[in-house]
Amino acid sequence: MSNFHTIFEAAIQQLGGREAVQKLLSVGASALSNYRQRAQIPAAKRAKLEEALAAKGWHLDLEGLQLTPLSQARQQRILLLITGGIAAYKALDLSRRLMDRGYQIRGVMTRSAMEFITPLSLSALTGEKVYSDLFSLTDEAEMGHIRLARDADLVLVAPATANFIAKMAHGLADDLASTICLATDCPVMIAPAMNPNMWAHPATRANLDILIKRGAGLIAPEDGDTACGEIGTGRLADPQVIISAIDARLARHSAGADSPLQGKHILITSGPTFEPIDPVRYVGNHSSGKQGHALAAACARKGAKVTLVTGPVHLADPDQVEVIKIQTAKQMYDACMAQLPVDCAICAAAVADWHVVNGGQQKIKKTAKGTPQLALAENPDILASLSQHENRPSLVIGFAAETENLAEYARAKRARKKCDWIVANQVGGTGEAGVFGQDSNHVTIIDGDGMQDWPRASKKEIADKLVQKIEAWFHDHKR
Ligand code: PMT
């Protein structure tokens, strides 16, 4: 598993060593150690680093912790669903142009599309297997229809016949292409092509209205001579128009414009709390804030209004996030309650369970009388209070940090604190197996439906995956 340190060192080597990078970024040696220590690089320096690496043929992805040759940097995948109209032959030229544009094309053809073009021609052009059969066992083993649908960055139906549009609008799933339309959670774009009367028919218009309301993008057909000899609107849009529409839609999508989290207010707690013993010492824990801060950044990327209430950490504030810095659990509690109402709360902070009630106003001195006896009192439980507040957020997510009996204790915590989901992680391990302060995490999600164990991944990947789950929840609950 790569971590920030390894990727950063590899980037330095590619750029000719430390001195070359110091010169490039106009910083001293201590700044480089500081970036490494904090696992963060200021945005302007990071842009310079990425630019210099790109000039040498490397793609630096610090969130995904990858340094890959530009030629292998992930292309965006379009799943092209070709349905059965005379314009199907135009899908071949469209595929080629989309590939020239840098997209990876995977084709799916309906039975009637195969009356017009062969899967072989599309496969020869795209260099990818073309899928058509919902019930092919080999395909299910190699790539089930759900994975096919989920693996794409965008589903493009081109040409889309009136019949296929009707099936999409009404949720029919009797072949591979229509099943994919139901199973996918990525943006869907429809480029219709049909006879002008069919295009103008109220049934087709109503079906398209349904799909547009549901978020599908329409690339309207053009006026002119159609294959059936009539003049009117119904010709498949020009490939360049389709490509521009796809570029724009994917750009909007990656900027979070399509996300149900757009405009939602999300409250996140992160980091440790420090409970003072005296003005010099405190009771605290090992949380670095990496997981909570990664979540805040991931929510902000989706267009949410994010308020991050954080204990003392050595991390840069995430972009586009309101950050409230506190020291103690009581301060974190007050800051969180002052934010209500919010749409969603995620409690990733490692809040100290107790504070010291008999601490000193001045530094406690060592005396011959012996060791001071600290008296502790319980801190307010922020997660439980949010879950039971009259202004309860629609979705409340807690974490559980356990050193043993992870699932059992986490389940009990979810019930006791009355939150919707618990993200359980086993703390106490060291190095790559650890959680506190590490760049990666291994979590188990416990929700109303049961338990999902997610493989160990970077904290950024865990955050992105959790945010996808939150998006799906808000999508289903339409709040
Ligand atoms: O910060 P990192 O180094 O990246 O490490 C990440 C993490 C281990 C801190 C994080 O993944 C995590 O597990 N956070 C919760 C840690 C914790 O305190 O767990 P807990 O099991 O003690 O508490 C259960 C839940 O109640 C947590 O959501 C906690 O935020 C919340 N809580 C606890 C006590 C309290 N007084 N108020 C709370 O809100």
Ligand 1 site, residue 355, Cβ cutoff 6 A: no
pLDDT digit string, tens, across residues 65-109? 778 776 666 689 999 999 999 999 999 999 999 999 889 999 999
Contact 212, 192 (CB under 8 A): no
CA of 399, closest atom in ligand 1: 28
Are residue 44 and residue 122 in the same domain, yes or no?
no
| Distance separating alpha carbons of residues 346 and 433, to the nearest angstrom | 24
pLDDT band at 138 (very low <50, low <70, confident <90, very high): low
Residue 179 belongs to what domain range? 77-256
Residue-level pLDDT at 430: 76
CATH number, domain containing residue 174:
3.40.50.1950
321 and 461: one domain? yes
Strand order in the sheet with 217-218: 104-109, 77-82, 154-160, 188-192, 217-218
Whether 365 maps to a domain, the answer reads no
Which residue of 315, 347, 432, 454 sits with most ligand 1 atoms within 8 Å of its CB, as the best mutation to test the pocket?
347
pLDDT classification of 60: cutoffs 50, 70, 90: confident
Q: Which residue has a Cα nearest atom 23 of ligand 1?
A: 400
Pick from 392, 418, 461: nearest CA to 62: 461
Q: What is the pLDDT of residues 465-476, one digit of tens each?
A: 999 999 999 988
Distance (Å) from CA 308 to ligand 1 centroid: 14
Give the number of the atom of ligand 1 that is nearest the alpha carbon of residue 380.
36
Closest ligand 1 atom to 410 CA: 21
Residue 250 and residue 141 share a domain: yes
Of 54-58, 59-63, 141-145, where does mean pLDDT reach its minimum? 141-145
Centre of ligand 1 to C-alpha 391, Å, is 22
Residue that is last in its domain, among 256, 281, 303: 256
Residue 339 counted as domain residue: yes
pLDDT given for residue 2 in this prediction: 59
The domain boundary residue, chosen from 256, 277, 308 = 256
Residues 83 and 192 in one domain: yes
Within-domain flag for 284: yes
User: Are 379 and 460 found together in one domain?
Assistant: yes
User: What residue type is assigned to position 167 of the chain?
Assistant: K
Same domain, 249 and 278: no
Please check whether residue 362 lies inside any domain of the structure. Answer: no
What are the tokens at 425?
């992680």
Is 445 inside a domain boundary?
A: yes
Which pLDDT band, with edges at 50, 70 and 90, does 1 fall under?
Answer: very low
Judge if 135 and 31 occupy the same domain.
no
434 and 344 part of one domain: yes
Name the average pLDDT for the chain: 91
Q: What is the dihedral of CA 466, 467, 471, 473, to 10 degrees?
A: 30
Higher pLDDT, 446 or 428: 446
What pLDDT is attached to residue 432? 67
The model's pLDDT over 13-24, given as tens digits with 9 standing for 90+, comes to 999 999 999 999
| pLDDT digit string, tens, across residues 176-206 | 999 999 989 889 999 999 999 999 999 999 9
CATH code of the domain containing 45: 1.10.260
Strand boundaries in 203-274, DSSP class E: 217-218, 222-225, 231-235, 265-270
pTM over 0.75: no
Kindly tell me if the per-residue pLDDT of 407 is higher than 50.
yes
Q: Do the domain assignments include residue 363?
A: no
* CATH code of 341's domain: 3.40.50.10300
| 414 pocket-lining for ligand 1 (C-beta < 6 Å) | no
Burial of 35 (0-12, 13-18, 19+ CB in 10 A): buried
pLDDT band at 355; cut points 50, 70, 90: very high
Alpha-carbon distances, residue 40 vs 3, 459, 461 (angstroms): 12, 13, 16
Phi and psi (nearest 5°) for 349? Answer: -70, 150
- Asked which of 160-169, 208-217, 255-264, 367-376 is least confident by mean pLDDT, the reply is 255-264
Final residue before a domain boundary, out of 256, 278, 312: 256
Number of domains in the chain: 3
CA–centroid distance, 353 to ligand 1, in Å, is: 10
Q: Is residue 464 part of a domain?
A: yes
Which range among 1-15, 36-50, 420-434, 449-463 has the greatest average pLDDT? 449-463
Read off the tokens for 148: 């096919």
The per-residue pLDDT for 27 is: 94
Q: What is the mean pLDDT of residues 13-36?
A: 93
Same domain, residue pair 273 and 352: yes
